[in-house]
Amino acid sequence: MKRLETVYLAGFEAFLPEAVAHDQRLAALAAGYGLTVPIPGCEVGDTAPEVAARALYAHRAALMRRSST
């Protein structure tokens, strides 16, 4: 079985006001187990909602593809 190195953790927390801090806590926790968690960090600025949604989707889908899981 292939050893996991990078994991993508998904959940509703991405939409919370403190999402970045939450992601950083998860990354620190995972690091204690020898895992890497990519931090999303996609800024969409003042774009139209549909444009922002497409940008977020593309960014997060790319993070998932680069993960071991």
pLDDT value for 20? 79
- The CA distances from residue 48 to 4, 38, 59, in Å, are 37, 26, 17
**Positive or negative torsion for Cα 2, 7, 12, 13:** positive
pLDDT value for 53? 79
Span 5-62, pLDDT tens digits: 888 777 777 777 787 788 889 889 999 999 988 876 666 667 788 887 788 788 878 8
pLDDT value for 5? 87
pLDDT value for 33? 92
